[in-house]
Amino acid sequence: MPAKKKIYLDYNASTPVDPRVVKEMLPYFTEKFGNLSSDHAFGWDAAEAVENSREQISRLANCKPTELTYTSGATEAANLALFGFCQKNKNKGDHIISCKTEHKAILDTLGALENRGFKITYLNVDGDGNIDLKELENSITAETILVCLMLANNETGFIHPLKKIAQITHAKNVCIMSDITQAVGKIPIDLKDLNIDMAIFSSHKIYGPKGVGALYISKKNKIHLDPHEFGGGQERGLRPGTLNVPAIVGFGKAAEIVFFEMNSDSRRLLELRNKLETLLLKIEGAEINSKEANRLPNTTNISFKNIEGSQIFRRLNMLAVSRGSACTANTVQPSHVLLAMGVTGEQALASLRISLGKLTSLEDIEFAVAEITKTIEQLKTATA
Ligand code: PLP
């Protein structure tokens, strides 16, 4: 009997690299291996490839190529942005506003800034994940230098009204940065229209390789950062060190593919996601988190009442789903996102994040529903 296939439903954690991306990257490991800082044909080839990728990525996000700085991922970009901005602007104030439901890449960096004397206000959210825009406005003081709010939440898919938030923030002469990592490649992104000052995102969420990402810094809004890494002056001195050309080429190609295929992929995934939710909601005690909110088309977060959370994961071994963000998945703590939304600790532990992607089929969804339904029913009878 052939071994049963494991079903991957954790695309918000990471995506497989698209074979077209791999093909584009391969020559840059071997014949086109030059260091882009070298002033000869090998270096020029590498430099051209890096700039070509910058164009491809900027097209996806609707910004200028010169507004993008390559990093090793969204986490490094968050560190460069937050530390660089706060250091540069510390004479203007020491207060930052963020939200309880941000990713650890932001929360932990803000925590490090707090240890260095900055004051952080973490906005509350309602049961769907919405911040109160009045609370945001009222939290801005004369000392506030930055608002930091993600576009789409990695656990629930909740989408913040970022353009409106940027308007409120700018009206008070405060800058805004956004973690757009989960939104890129799933919904159209127009950085020019959003009019935010800084943004961070990552290649491995859009079928590109791991270990490469980008920091967007608005030229129009004249944002400047103090450098926090030092070396050979690459990336205008903000992120020095020899660039990972194959990964950057892959990031660019992934961005190009996503630019053309996102709309049809997202439509298909939304249909699958809706089907998944309809079927899962037939389980007694099942509740979709952020159900009524504007959400990413590929993400569902579902909680089950009166079930011991740790048991669900032990039994669901044919499915790769997540109980929280992947970065904190090794520590079995209730999700800070769900807790902030008012979900009880017990119910948060009995929650699944299911995120669909390019390779997800209807059969995968049907299999997942059957496995989850069976598991929950077994756990109910075990505890009855
Ligand atoms: N921000 C969000 C919303 C994410 O989902 C992730 C990845 O899980 C990150 C930041 C970190 O990205 P990277 O792995 O590129 O550092």
In angstroms, the CA 351 to CA 343 distance is 10
Q: Alpha-carbon distance 241 to 234, whole Å?
A: 6
- Pairing state between β 95-99 and 119-123: parallel
Whether residue 153 has its Cβ less than 6 Å from ligand 1: no
What end-to-end distance do the CA atoms of the chain give, in Å?
35
DSSP per-residue codes, 234-287: TGGGTS-S---HHHHHHHHHHHHHHHHHHHHHHHHHHHHHHHHHHHHTTSTTEE
Is 260 buried (19+), middle (13-18) or exposed (0-12) by CB count in 10 A?
exposed
Structure confidence at residue 357 (pLDDT): 98
Alpha carbon nearest to ligand 1 atom 5, residue: 154
Task: State the burial class of residue 11 (Cβ atoms within 10 Å of its Cβ: 0-12, 13-18, 19+).
Answer: buried
242 contacts 37 by C-beta, under 8 angstroms? yes
SS3 345: helix
Say what the pLDDT of residue 356 is.
98
Of 11, 103, 335, which is best to mutate to test ligand 1, by the most ligand atoms within 8 angstroms of its C-beta? 103
Distance, CA of 203 to CA of 234 (rounded, Å): 20
Give me the pLDDT at residue 314, please. Answer: 82
User: Can you read off the two tokens belonging to residue 97?
Assistant: 């506003």
- Ligand 1 pocket member 339 (CB < 6 A): no
Cα of 74 to ligand 1 centre, how many Å?
A: 5
How far apart, in whole angstroms, are the C-alpha atoms of residue 174 and residue 143? 10
- Residue 284 pLDDT: 94
Question: pLDDT under 50 in the chain at which residues?
Answer: 325-327
Token code pair at residue 77: 């970009």
CA of 307 to the centre of ligand 1 (A): 29
Residue with tokens 């911040």: 131
CA nearest to 285, candidates 208, 200, 347: 347
Angle, helix 245-280 to helix 362-383, in steps of 10 degrees: 60
Domain with CATH 3.90.1150.10 in the chain: 7-16+263-383
Tell me whether residue 327 is one of the annotated catalytic residues: yes
Q: What is the pLDDT of residue 383?
A: 65
Query: For the structural domain made of 7-16+263-383, what CATH number should be given?
Result: 3.90.1150.10
Dihedral over Cα of 110, 115, 118, 122: its sign: positive
User: Residue 300 is inside which H or E element, if any?
Assistant: strand 299-304
Distance CA 45, CA 229 (A): 26
Residue among 86, 99, 175, 327 flagged as catalytic: 327
Both tokens assigned to 178: 């956004």
Considering only CA atoms, which of 205, 263, 243, 219 is closest in space to residue 75? 205
Cα 31 to middle of ligand 1, angstroms = 32
Using a 6 Å cutoff on CB, does residue 103 contact ligand 1? Answer: yes
How many angstroms does the Cα of residue 246 sit away from the middle of ligand 1? 20
Confidence at residue 313, expressed as pLDDT on a 0 to 100 scale: 82
Give residue 253's pLDDT.
98
Cα torsion 97, 100, 105, 110: sign: positive
Evaluate: CB of 71 within 6 angstroms of ligand 1: no
154 lines ligand 1 (CB under 6 A): yes
Q: Where in the chain is the domain with CATH 3.40.640.10?
A: 19-256
Q: pTM of the entire structure?
A: 0.96
- Largest Cα span, the chain: 73
Give me the residues paired with residue 353 across strands: 301, 322
Q: What are phi and psi of 349, to 5 degrees?
A: -70, -25
Going from the Cα of 202 to the center of ligand 1, the distance in angstroms, rounded, reads 7
User: Ligand 1 centroid to 149 CA: how many Å?
Assistant: 14
| Structure tokens, 361 | 């089929």
Task: Looking at the CA of residue 153, tell me the nearest atom of ligand 1.
Answer: 3
Question: According to the model, what pLDDT value does residue 380 have?
Answer: 81
Closest-CA residue, ligand 1 atom 12, reads 74
Give the DSSP letter of residue 358: T
Q: For residue 261, what are the CA distances in angstroms to 1, 60, 186, 286?
A: 37, 11, 10, 33
Ligand 1 close to Cβ of residue 203 (< 6 A): no
The residue whose CA is least distant from atom 7 of ligand 1 is 13
Q: Is 73 in the pocket of ligand 1 (CB under 6 A)?
A: yes
Residue 313: CB atoms within 10 Å? 18
19-256 is a CATH 2.130.10.10 domain:
no
pLDDT given at position 333 = 85
Q: Is 179 in the pocket of ligand 1 (CB under 6 A)?
A: yes
Rounded alpha-carbon distances, angstroms, from residue 25 to 118, 336, 344: 41, 37, 46
